[in-house]
Structure 1
Amino acid sequence: MKVYRILIAKPGLDGHDRGAKVVAHALRDAGFEVIYTGLRQTPEQIVRTALQEDVDLIGLSVLSGAHLQLSQKVIELMKKEGIENIPVFVGGIIPPDDVPQLLQMGVKRVFGPGTSLSKIVEEIKAILQQGVASAGES
């Protein structure tokens, strides 16, 4: 059985990573291999790490309010590098009004404050199963 590799990244100048670390631990406990980038990563660093680590999924944790700009930049760079097929999810302080825009730009799921870890793990499994099903259809 394949062990999925998930990149958890903290883009931008946000200096708080407790939530990202808690999610990373929950995903690791659920059997995923998790790569955590640490704080203050540029979109370029995140995409480079995704390429180097051959990840199956990218999670962006943004508390700074720059979630739209940072997510868009990461997705644009992923397209440029030919890895736009890797699903992206976003977590953090995300105003509900911004969720549709994130989904429209290609983000698969958005997790706001208070989302249970079991729901995050369940949704991540669903995203990865959709990817496997899509790959099988090609």
Structure 2
Amino acid sequence: MPVRVLIAKPGLDGHDRGAKIVARALRDAGFEVVFTGIRQKVEDIVSIALQEDVALVGLSILSGAHVALTSRTVEALRAAGADDIDVIVGGTIPLGDVPRLKLAGAAAVFPTGTSLDTLVNEVRALTASDSSV
């Protein structure tokens, strides 16, 4: 059974090309991908993650609010008792913010320019205990 992952666009960011490319790459690598579409509230992302029983939530953020949105998502998952769901974040992220995102609970961070192979391999490693994707 394929590992289920959620790709979400939190906040007011209306650009979804990168998120769709990531979703397709993960799907092509054997993951089952749920895509939320744009302008999602953190609470809705967490609700969808729980309903869809995903192993991982990927946040795609271009708006500059990556630290706050990642923190809020991780905290909301913990509050819902779903701290076993890893959160990864990608998008327009300055390299200097990577440590802040990891401190906020991101399992992995993928700034602009990260190769799709790197992303897929990291998601495989993070979800290895969930399946053999």
> Which residues of 2 match residues 33-52 of structure 1 at below 5 A?
33-52=32-51
TM-score when normalising by structure 2: 0.95
1:53-92 aligned at under 5 Å gives the runs 53-92=52-91
The whole-number CA distance in structure 2 between the counterparts of 1:128 and 1:26 is: 16
1:100-120: CA deviation from partner (whole Å, max 9, x where unpaired): 011112111100111111111
Equivalent residues in 2 for 1:1-138 (5 A)?
2-129=1-128, 132=129
- Taking every aligned residue pair, what percent have the same amino acid on both sides? 56
Partners of 1:101 and 1:112 in 2: CA distance: 13
* Matched AA of 1:31: G
- Residues in 1 aligned to 2:92 and 2:46: alpha-carbon distance in whole angstroms: 22
Amino acid at match of 2:60: S
For structure 2, the 5+ residue unaligned runs are none
Count of aligned positions: 130
- Name the Cα RMSD after superposition: 1.0
The structure whose RCO (Cα within 8 Å, separation 6+) is larger is: 2
Runs of 4+ in 1 over 6 A off after TM superposition: none
CA distance in structure 2 between the aligned counterparts of 1:120 and 1:28, rounded to whole angstroms = 12
